[in-house]
Structure 1
């Protein structure tokens, strides 16, 4: 982490990618603020949250003064002409933040989950209309993206699978966006193979989990967890398990920073970090 004065100097020098973080006081948002402050090619120009209003975000997070006060109004910080907003909030707030930013010509990197298909469609159309880039991903951990990729490869050979996803007890949506994305990608592969009769039978028993894209998804919510997922494939006399664990929210930082650096070159929405790096 850089010195406490580096963030202040970067804001004052007006160089680099100007970034606003929404959900800045949240568990993930805090890590994003720290990462932006520490990045030599970025400037933190805004922090949006409903907590710690009018306090300096640097002092809130123990980074020293950043000359950026927490506000609950995205419009208030848009006057600083940011290049990108990083959004880690909830579905309702995220939709408002994303659409507001795009209408003002600001690119978006969002890891908020729970957006409806209708909301996503509106965001797609708005970005296309305004020719503004956005990266929306259910998971920015590079290991999770590799889990997606590996699951797609395994699905070519195994036609039955289930997903167990585990998150902290404060996560509102279930199944998780990561699990739904994994199921969708597996299903894309299954469309290209002849699946057995048994693999096509799904259960409507509640104890067998939620059904999405032809897979059973089991959601666990407990304190002490961050973000974890197992994809279990079954075949004749064997199983194959792919597991990813995020033990801290720092695991999302590299993927988000990569997206922030690339999003200004995009015109429209890229959904899923895998579509940005592969």
Structure 2
């Protein structure tokens, strides 16, 4: 079987450079294009003819890049954040014209982060209180992180389904932002600190106890098994998928880290 042809958009960034190295090292993949800021997609991708594009650019650029991929039948694995419902709806609309194309939008490619989100959603219905703290390097342009937003939404959905009310909070006055952002009724707090990479804590509280679910990425290499898993499987899932959990069999044995990171 011929190698899957892969292009990396945002190849000049730290995540993009790591993705290029990971694709280059995979025997079943071929890195056919490194796309940098200002490159014309018609010129670069038109000549490279990739099967899959890994989009690791910036929120302002990514929607148009994903649209280009969909219109040209190129599957897209997207790690750029900033995907609100309006942008996702636009992708769904474009995919309506290209029903055989797959787009995966992943708030986080670290397998541990995906598991932490799942565990938090499972636990949230058993606890009266829940809040999310995300910690990243100070070069990150968005807050809260896409991972934290998705975590909060999954937690809120699980609590609504279980009939759990809002977390108790007697605050009646405070400085603006002191209680963090409100994401579907879940408070999310953002820390930006030099030396960090990507970290998240979900704090769950009940009378007399606290459960903390924490995931830490100390290096961007932690995201590469998820990137490669997305590249290898996105074509098997036409349409739009949000979250790497759609590609993991979390209720069974699953592909395992060997396949994901080979």
- Cα separation, partners in 2 of 1:198 and 1:217, compared to 1, 3 Å: closer
Q: Residue in 1 aligned with 2:152?
A: 183
- State how far apart, in whole Å, the 2-side matches of 1:123 and 1:199 are: 37
Q: Residue in 1 aligned with 2:126?
A: 157
- State how far apart, in whole Å, the 2-side matches of 1:103 and 1:84 are: 13
CA shift for structure 1 position 90: 0.9
- The alignment status of 1:91 with 2:59, answered yes or no, reads yes
- Cα separation, partners in 2 of 1:230 and 1:74, compared to 1, 3 Å: same
Structure 1 runs (4+) deviating above 4 angstroms are 200-205
Q: Give 2:40's match in structure 1, choosing from 57, 73, 93.
A: 73
Q: Give 2:215's match in structure 1, choosing from 244, 249, 260.
A: 244
Q: Residue in 2 aligned with 1:108?
A: 76
Q: Is the 8 A contact 1:128 1:267 kept in 2?
A: no
Q: Residue in 2 aligned with 1:27?
A: 14
CA shift for structure 1 position 194: 3.4
The CA RMSD measured in Å over matched residues stands at 1.8
- State how far apart, in whole Å, the 1-side matches of 2:248 and 2:171 are: 34
- State how far apart, in whole Å, the 1-side matches of 2:173 and 2:92 are: 33
- State how far apart, in whole Å, the 1-side matches of 2:71 and 2:220 are: 30
Normalising by structure 2, report the TM-score: 0.89
Q: Residue in 2 aligned with 1:223?
A: 194
Q: Residue in 2 aligned with 1:274?
A: 245
Q: Is the 8 A contact 1:45 1:77 kept in 2?
A: no
CA shift for structure 1 position 15: 3.5
CA shift for structure 1 position 200: 7.7
CA shift for structure 1 position 199: 3.4
Q: Which moved more, 1:157-166 or 1:244-253?
A: 157-166
- Cα separation, partners in 2 of 1:78 and 1:187, compared to 1, 3 Å: same
- The alignment status of 1:169 with 2:159, answered yes or no, reads no
Q: Is the 8 A contact 1:159 1:190 kept in 2?
A: no
Structure 2: 5+ residue stretches without partners: 250-262
CA shift for structure 1 position 201: 6.9
Normalising by structure 1, report the TM-score: 0.84
CA shift for structure 1 position 81: 1.5
* Residues matched between the structures, number: 245
> Which is higher, the Rg of structure 1 or of structure 2?
1
